[in-house]
Structure 1
Amino acid sequence: MNKRLTLIQLDVHVKDVEYNYNRVTELLHESLSHNPDIIVLPETWNTGFYPSTELINYADANGERTLSLLSTFAREHEVNIVGGSVAVTIDNKVYNTSYTFNRSGTLVGEYSKMHGFSPAKEEIYFAGGTKTTHFELDGIPCSTVICYDIRFPELVRMAALPHTELLFVPAQWPTMRLRHWQVLNEVRAIENQLFLCAVNGCGAIGRVQSTGHSAVYDPWGTNLLEMDTNEGIATVDIDFAVVADIRNKINIFKDRRPELYHL
């Protein structure tokens, strides 16, 4: 089965919520010219990655604005959307949450980032999620983790275990750790034998530069696509027969011995 992934690498404006929603809407419409099967957005595109007490004033209350925008767009244009993530408020707590919609506009995946990036005090200002997400897009088993989560192989393996073939990683990853971004995403694709679609922000987040370099890796670790540091849209076609091929040749899931793993 072949599918076309379209990545939207966004220059998010910190705290400028109206600009960000308008810009995402523009880029979603532009992306339709790529004839996508799945459109993917970056992390915290509504507010910017902005751990602060002010964040609650800018976050999307109960995710309502984001849910309406993405659900309506997916339904009207019959396209799958992995909504990156947005800052949302639920019961006076702020979460870093990803919403995924199928072609009918139905919410099929919801995931809140588990691991707060402690150097930025993210765990203080964002409440952490407690469960993985598993969903299908056009019959393809998928999952999502967010940014810093990719540094935790235990979580990614949990996301991969139910036969996941495509993992999404929305992020706001900084230029100073670009090499980590590239290596970690490549390795997670290899060790879990799946396609990995990592969509990063770009531009300045306060004094920190988001590095861009959104990318797609296949289960062999081959880099199928890597963007530059600029805002833009990029598309790649992927063949899911590759997943069955590598899992038949090197079946790590059959060879696992979880009874010996004591973490």
Structure 2
Amino acid sequence: MTRKYIKLSPLLFLLIVLTAGCGKSSGGGNIIPPPAPGKALLQLPAKDAVCTTGTIVTDSTSAITFTWKAATHADSYDLAVKNLFTGITATQNTTALKLVVTLSRNTPYSWSIISRSKQSTDTGQSNTWKFYSSGPGAAAYAPFPAAITSPVFGASITATAGKVNLTWTGSDVDGDITGYDIYLGTQTNPAKIRSGVTDMFLNDVAVQTGKLYYWIVVTKDSKGNTSNSGIYQFSVK
């Protein structure tokens, strides 16, 4: 038997070798995403306290310094300060670990930090703290507005045997909260359904399926001061 051999030119042989090599995976194709920024740790103004370190700007405003600890993998921060009387939030960005903001005196605020990174679209969210900016002649401060925890605004919930549970959190720099009044109804000015609740929850509240409900928590202290959570709403499936 006569064997036949095909002669390959050096150039064609090299092309075949390179083509075969391209079909093999190098195993290095996985892209590792950049790390997300961490959570900043708040420092000042202190949680649930009266801030007395501000510099008075006018009779009605003070310049208050906010400070926090650096978050991992972050290169800038958004400081969000919310006026708890008006519900308006002001946000400023900085690359530093402190920022001076001019605020109304004798007013409750909450604040938090969002950590950002140029390398990632993810962000880090700090805790949220409340404080009072000190005011002239203030011997006592009203409670902070209650923070509604459940049902949250706009929630659609299922009633159990025609009843739902309401929860919130309250705090006060003077530590003298005496109770909470709860308002609930299908109108935007709901009626009071319970007075002087000493817990931060109210269970087995009767509701109807298919209805939209509005509710408010009013916090009271021993000196007769009050604060209003603002109106929240939820629907019952």
TM-score (ref. length: structure 1): 0.23
TM-score (ref. length: structure 2): 0.25
Q: Which has the higher contact order (CA 8 A, sep 6+)?
A: 1
Higher helix share: 1
